[in-house]
Amino acid sequence: MSDMRTLGEFIVEKQHEYPNASGELSSLLSSIRLAAKIVNREINKAGLADITGAFGGENVQGEEQQKLDVYANEKFKAAMAARDQVCGVASEEEDEAVIFDSELSRNAKYVILMDPLDGSSNIDVNVSVGTIFSIYRRVSPIGQPATIDDFLQPGNQQVAAGYIIYGSSTMLVYTTGNGVHGFTYDPSIGAFCLSHESMTIPEDGKIYSINEGNYIRFPLGIKKYIKYCQENVPEEGRPYSSRYIGSLVSDFHRNMLKGGIFLYPSTAAYPSGKLRLLYECNPMAFIIEQAGGKASNGHQRIMDIKPTELHQRVPFFVGSTNMVEKTEAFLAEFPDED
């Protein structure tokens, strides 16, 4: 590792970047760090304990919940409730926002939006999964319970966002609007240690990540872009590579380090897209922009979209700037046929 500073030490060191937080944001990030350790422990023994497979219910999107979805949701929610900095949580696994209504929480400045376990269906086959989180300053009056307006803010109002990837090693990556920093978990000392300071994504890349099994259902512009990737050879003389894990955090993390684009367009089954604006797209958009990349719905900057509902879906294209802009150009040139 390049630096033995722990996440806790780094957060304290960087507190001057958000002087109006008075330490609350640092404490909140520490809560996320703790919950990540607990979830990581359970994921690492998933093949030994009875925590894999379906839970037996569905979330609000009608998707089958996995046992670890429910476990991770409860652990992150409990970690947020235990601190006095959060007045409410919205989760992909909850129908409605969870409002913390104690006297202390009513005076809290922040709300959290999260996907507690992205890609959880991959747990059974030992494929990397992740947690995605987004932090906003509340807009409702301090001293009162949080309202829906606190959660329905555009992504450009985020004060922090990040993800945890539970893979061959566990990493926590976050931004507070001053660059992107990554920390790798060292189980021997029980701490996240700085391993990737000031992460940046290459302006261009050779990797495209998309579920090509849905090809016939894609918009015409996306079909054209895929053909472009398959038929064109970059200057270095090697063709583009198709890499798709099926876990947003995993695909995003690889492309951020190596250069590439993740695409999840609209389809016949999901005409508005499938990924959630608030829990997945906005936080990843904040991170990628801070790393020098771009995030779009194909026509508009993701973080400028004004949410209208908690579980709103959007098409999502995120990664190296040149690749995202090329995708937008294909979508503009080849609109869907009527």
Domains of the chain, residue spans: 7-196, 207-333
Distances (CA, A) of 90 to 14, 77, 197, 235: 27, 9, 29, 45
Check whether 50 is labelled as a binding-site residue: no
Which architecture does CATH list for 207-333?
A: 3-Layer(aba) Sandwich (3.40)
Question: Known binder of ligand: residue 26?
Answer: no
- Pairwise CA distance, residues 134 & 112, whole Å: 6
280 is in an annotated binding site: yes
Mean pLDDT of 198-217: 96
* Residue 118 is labelled as binding a ligand: yes
Instruction: Look at strands 86-91 and 64-66 and give their pairing.
Output: unpaired
Asked if residue 228 belongs to a known ligand binding site, the reply is: no
In CATH, what is the architecture of 7-196? 2-Layer Sandwich (3.30)
Residue 230: Cβ within 10 Å count: 12
Separation in Å, CA 3 to CA 6, 165, 188, 257: 8, 20, 16, 18
Instruction: Say if residue 120 carries a ligand binding annotation.
Output: yes
Task: Find out whether 211 is annotated in a ligand binding site.
Answer: yes
| 92 annotated as a binding-site residue | yes
| Fold agreement (7-196, 207-333) | no
44 marked among binding-site residues: no
Q: Does the annotation list 152 as a binding residue? A: no
Q: What angle do CA 58, 59, 65 make, to 5 degrees?
A: 55
62 is in an annotated binding site: no
| Predicted confidence (pLDDT) per residue in 210-269, tens digit | 999 999 999 999 999 999 999 987 776 778 999 999 999 999 999 999 999 999 999 988
With contact defined as beta carbons under 8 Å apart, do 112 and 79 qualify?
Answer: no
Q: For residues 258 and 115, what is the distance between their CA atoms, to the nearest angstrom?
A: 24
Quote the pLDDT of residue 126: 81
Q: Give me 95's structure tokens.
A: 């129908």
pLDDT-based confidence at 102, cuts 50/70/90?
A: confident
Average pLDDT value for residue range 72-77? 95
Mean pLDDT over the full length of the chain: 90
